[in-house]
Amino acid sequence: MVNTNPLIAQPPQEVPLKDAPLVRVIAQVRFPPILSIEKKEFVGSFQEAIRETYPILHLEQTPGLVLGSPGIVETAPQLTWRFLDTTNSWRISLAPNFLAIETTAYSSRSDFLKRFKNALQALDENFKPKVIERFGLRYIDRLVGQELEDISLLVKPEIAGIVATEFRKYIYQTINESWFIIPDGDEQIIAARWGLMSADVTFDPNAIEPIDEPSWILDIDMSSKSKNREFSVEALISEAQNFAERIYTFFRWAVQDEFLRRFGGKL
């Protein structure tokens, strides 16, 4: 009997989607603060290592965020270097305590991991972090228009929920969130969020831009919180590969075959 539990099942073969509704993919690694990252004289060599692909630089001052018992607490602002490509669809962010890569133009798992590896190598060569505090990978899909109307045809009943009822048009917003522990996963978890958002509304402005029409979101975030692991580019890429496969397994559990066909997949 085939195991259908998405937390432990073998990852299914990928079905490429020509018109995938994937709006953003983010990978982030956090490490103890490296204060020299805030100084431009130290960041120049990092920029040179990635500048051919990400030639546009923006410097932002962003609030620091700490997750504690009261919830998310804002701390002193920190400088974040944003490196963008010429299409504004790929971005690398570098701050004293994290590096992230994100895209709104995801084409394949292999391309994303190759770019992530290049960014990690530039980080390692220039700042040599010794310890990882957290690593996470996040995929966000968004349905609008006719696909939103057909939600019950595209996703499993367990996921569609109340949005598949005849009174959906009266729902202003409904967001479900579930956290799953990966068995024998060394403190790995999946946080899955899904639901309907009204026009001009978002539950995460940093990752999901509000748009001028209602939309349905499937947001799958996998992370490892085992503390004080040794920083290793190869180990992180291997972990990112495993995370991507597990997220895809959860995604395939959540959607119907019609979802794959609707967005250009060939079964």
DSSP character string of 103-163? ESS---HHHHHHHHHHHHHHHHHHH---EESEEEEEEEEEE-HHHHHTHHHHB-HHHHGGG
Is the pLDDT reported for residue 252 higher than 90? yes
Q: How confident is the model at residue 19 (pLDDT cuts 50, 70, 90)?
A: very high
Q: How far apart are CA 68 and CA 66, in angstroms?
A: 6
- Spatial CA neighbour of 90 closest among 117, 66, 55, 122: 55
Angle at 172 between CA 168 and CA 176, to 5 degrees: 80
- Spatial CA neighbour of 65 closest among 20, 95, 25, 34: 95
Rg over CA atoms, the chain: 19
pTM for the whole thing? 0.92
Is the pLDDT reported for residue 256 higher than 70? yes
Interval 32-36 mean pLDDT: 94
